[in-house]
Amino acid sequence: MNEQAPDRMTYREACRQAIRDALIRDPRCFVMGEDVGLYGGCYAVTKGLLEEFGPERIRDTPLAESVITGAGIGAAIGGLRPVVEIMTCNFSLLALDQIVNNAATIAHMSGGQFAVPLVIRMATGGGRQLAAQHSHSLEGWYAHIPGITVLAPGTIEDARLMLAAALADPNPVLIFEHVVLYNAEGELDPAITSVDIRKARIRREGRDLTILTYGGSLPKALAAAGELAAAGIEAEIVDLRVLRPLDNETIYASVGRTRRCVIVDEGWRSGSLSAELAARLAEDLFFELDAPIRRVCTREVPIPYAAHMEDAALPQVADIVEAARGLVRPE
């Protein structure tokens, strides 16, 4: 029996292959966004697709996020499968009315008569010196809204396979791709052809504490787990992957087992996804905990441009290690 060797690729290439595969599989699928065609996408994710699929399916749009999203909603209701690209989640605020008041509500307000199978991809996060208006992490805001699914692929596998699952969903799905991951490399097992977009995944098993994280913070959490292991502390890493709906079952099982929890979230602490997770754990798992819940989040400032200040603002490996040590072996 011949087994295919794992494919090694970048996160960017995994995203590109996912889009290309969707376009090949379904003639109703098309991509729409700023610079997705001639320029190949601001992060080069759609590079080469215009030449292969033509301008009817790879559509460059004006700089008008609300218009792009509204057109995508209309196309989805009309039976197409649009993939809308918004350059950065900071700019998605210009489309907030379309996402929150239309995409998320139409199926409910029509009594299920109209589905909105719309997928919106957008870059998120800091770490590339793009300054405040291009570097924030707003996925936690969208995880607040019923009616949409919010995904945050943190691995090559999820970058490659989450899009297909999102397009199969009859309701709107938002995919947040962290900017520091586009150049990351990893292997994709050819035997894995689909992923579940309702479940979190344990990326590393451990006995002493659970680290809950997602997206661009996942590699940092794994690096922190490596440092902790060298000190005799075994951290279990839970990749949330799906920020709405949260997979309580996997989260609770892990924290219930380790009895300690650090939440790593690149969003600001106040009103964040980390706050929601901490509240749920306090409400439902309080008597299982042996220590307070700790959070490692971005400092509550607009993301700075200067590299050393940006690093100081964002969660870092050392911050995660310190928080974990404080729970397991407080000095």
Residues marked as catalytic: 65, 134
E strand intervals along the chain? 7-10, 29-33, 58-60, 81-86, 119-124, 149-151, 173-178, 185-188, 201-204, 209-213, 235-239, 242-244, 261-268, 294-298
| Six token digits for residue 51 | 């030449």
Buried b vs exposed e over 98-133: b needs ≥16 C-beta within 10 Å? bbbebbbbbbeeeeeeebbbbbbbbbbbbbbebeee
How many Cα atoms are found within 13 Å in the side-chain-facing hemisphere of 51?
Answer: 4
Residue 326's CB: how many other CB atoms inside 10 A?
15
Q: How many CA atoms lie within 13 A of 41 on its CB side?
A: 26
**CA–CA distance, 15 with 12 (Å, rounded to integer):** 5
Q: Angle 273-284/248-258 helices, nearest 10 degrees?
A: 60
Distance CA 23, CA 137 (A): 29
Could you give the CA distance from residue 312 to residue 32 in angstroms, rounded to a whole number?
36
Cα–chain center distance at 193 = 19
Contacts 24+ apart (CB under 8 A), 47-53: 47/16, 48/16, 49/16, 49/19, 49/20, 49/23, 52/20, 53/23
What pairing do the DSSP bridges indicate for beta strands 201-204 and 235-239? Answer: antiparallel
* 214 CA to centre of own chain: 7
Q: Please check whether residue 214 is in contact with residue 267, taking contact to mean a CB–CB distance below 8 angstroms.
A: no
